[in-house]
Structure 1
């Protein structure tokens, strides 16, 4: 059975109730581990030290942790952690809420000078956004720019589209949503009702309804039984009547003495679907969640403790394929949901026009009363009295909300509820509904883009599986060459990779090694440009620069700084790689150009002596004599992980990096900011290695960012 790696909406609903008990605790410090685990250290007057963990990577969770389950503080805090410390140190924890029925928690922190909202998105790629008092994004772990929503510094935070809450839906609404499905009962509960697979099966079991019953064949009594099971589950969560359990795998008698059982799931109450599995009870759901994820981490570490010379194990392609297929199924369900919502808004707009006179009478009555300063509660009483006298317009009104200035009416044969802005006319209200339908359709387009991305990931996994199987078949058939003395290690599949850290003099500069093994170094700023020319440029080196202003000094080294060098007959590939390095880290990339021009000269052509009457800026030089030009050089860099002879992140021209890295990602000028692109590359690389802790140690997002050009980037598929 797969181990649970993400908290569900029902889990979060149970957690929120318990997290409120920590209100009033003061924030001490913020830490960020591995670019996806946020730790807030708080101090509570009654409880002492409180450790709040929020993880949004491969694992998605949010809970208070036992101090013994918290890792030591990492080294130098990244910018995100520094920003949190500046905004939140000394702030009071003011509460937490779950956004509707989504896997989103909103934490509120209050301080005399400024309040801060922390939004934890525990779904999809995962994210944490920090908002100011106006709802503007101050910072986020990832930048999101979709047609449906934007999460980026300086923008107003936008929540995803609202999802139906299956624990609050009325019987009529439940039956309507179910009857609109053409799938079976359990799939409809999982996708259309947003329960997810496990709890959808649990509801079916508790209601005594066969899971695979087609919805069209389900009786009214069966739907009523399903709704009652949902209601009981919702009431139990709201009342705090929980019995938390951590479920473990079953072990046969012989294996029990060999190892501790793996944890499988954590739930706020016992599940019929897990009947027969061993479980451990807890006093609080938070304690159960903390113990579960602590043991899950421990299980993962145990699996990675194989010796360095162990043979590579086969990745679990089937599990990854199943995971991607589940994501696609959920995304398809979301698309159907957007279609339903858009159609519903459009139908409301058409009903407003179809009953124009009635709606106009309602709105005119309310506007006239407001112009005469009649209080909202008196307007509601007047409309209720009119309904008792049989006035059609008054009978249509089901709610008057003075706080929001709205009137809700029931229109059409199905008594569809439509919320109207009281200050606006019929046309404006109908147009607002049409615009809402169009906005939801925009979210559908974003979801369709996401599903295409997931499908590409699925195809990539299937391709890797096929390649692995082809190698296995070759080994079994003995077609491999017996004369090969050198064995190429499959680093991606090794469960444990030894760390061999380098200590090279050039690593503070930009650098890479060409395909032929020559070192190329470039300056990161004006000071380094000066230093490279004055201190490190040798007689037989080559100096590269771009035609565009704002490029780094780039040196193709014939030898190291303390080594004697002879003239080198550079081949064309080496020279073009150096030229591509110079172009890619210049303003050509920052300006979004796909290619640029570079030139090469010998060291004696480079001077700091300007012409008479001229001035040279720091980091700039005068070039005299003929130049060798390289035109239309592509702006491309590859960033990857090197495993031998040392372990580290590397980056540079794709042609030079491909053979040195165990795996790499190629980028071109694009839309993602440098730090966001680094995070995307980090997550991509981490998923490729069986030993994910290795990538975290040698190629964190901060380390990878050192090899990315300034400006926006896109990953080249």
Structure 2
């Protein structure tokens, strides 16, 4: 049987309750894979790392994933991901709802400065739209412009037309919808009652009604049985009475379905997944299944296995051309988006012109319009019903009264009338509760609002052009990387000895960019020569955050004897990772101490060396002695300390080329061997920005590919690794 690739409305209904259990988790970062898979990395106080996955391509899903199932972060984030990072970083996940019975999930995120709504459309072509607090689209993966709805930056988000919810419909309503069909029972349930094929068949099976029975031959008792089966499914979802299952299907040795369902043969391959459901289905009674504690866990496991089964089935040799990213398709896609955006801008121009024309027609036909408004206002003042007003105007039109002839519609619910003005009969809707001037001004304001939307669309087209250039740049980088790989392969084949070939990065004409995105990069940081992470605060707020949020029980806390040093943590493990006690080497400890000293006031004051101390995490407290006060970013240290005296104030700043490409900085013993090129500094006379420019020029001069240094280690990026105060380059 075909493998499930999209979650159904019933599946989403079961997922929403479980996803809301993560309310309160805080967003760290957003990632976008292949233009259709959105990953939001969150942190939950109780659960630690939370990975929310939303995919809207050929596979359509939304669930929290096991971190082990999450792929490494992609390279340079596209504009949509950048926009989400700006709006969602630090925001709290407030909850999620399913829109009616549609395959649409609405995620709410709250932040002090602005709230954001993410709408995931898990149907059709699929889409994700970010909305501001007014419901206006800030950005979307795809631009949609249909007669029925628009999803585009600057426009109010419009949901699709409402769909009948078959799980809530009354018996009378159910019978009426069924009786209106000229098809059979299962097709009517699947399409007109929006159940989809599988659950339509399931309802028929549970009700004991033949699937192919024509609706016009179904008895009232049979329709009642179908409605009761539907109601039981709805009640089960609402009560949370679920028993999630991942269904499997055995394959024979040739990869074909085993018609006997025998998974025990030695020649059989591992079974493949075919479906995931919130409760067991009678339609899958003959299939083996695996139970799960939560439907979210079942969905995660199902799509993880589905992805790997697809990968295994379509695996190509390492040198196959199929492994090449389809840059041409991505370029064509961005060009199509630009063309759509140009069309939208032209549409905004036309709409704004039409609104202004309507406003000018009101003034051009001022007396006539004023007569219409006065007639309606006088009638309403005498409590004349809207229907009678419409009849009176119609009678006046028959008698040839110009003001009455101009009226083509009366809408009492909105208190408006529509008039035809000008030689071409342009229709203008006017508010009968306002004068001609106010109605004209409203139209002018609408024209201005449309022009503002045009400005937003022009910004969007510039962003898309930037993304197009980024794709072209990635294509060039990929080609350079492949050429470099081919060169390396040729060198390897010609190299008769078995020693590992060391790449000469400095002489390479082109170096591929492989940017990391690590959680600690907003702090001061480096990796020791033995590989342990050391992080330090840049200010009092970060000092507080490091101790309260990131200090583990097996870490080490470092600080300088001099006032004004950063909190420095030697990490035994990353956040949310289990850690065992670590016996750090003396070199590792001294590197952490040198880091603490070099980024303290010792450097700023021009000292060549300073003292630091180390304590265990449980010796660090925010509770002062009675009568004392502790400044923000400061802490009380109790108990014995381990001292490191006369630690040199020195840092090395360089460029790392493998396994990732980025600027790095820290104690020279930890940096020099890790960097392809580096510069060592000590306290001196050059201001921080001047020293950063000197280092940048020196590093740039060492690489044949000077554009590489500009991309990964600009002067601004290098300055992040320089201590505050003056510096000199050490010869």
TM bracket, shorter-chain basis: 0.3 to 0.5
Q: Looking at both structures, which has the greater relative contact order when contacts are Cα pairs under 8 Å and sequence separation is at least 6?
A: 1
In our comparison, the structure showing a higher alpha carbon Rg is 2
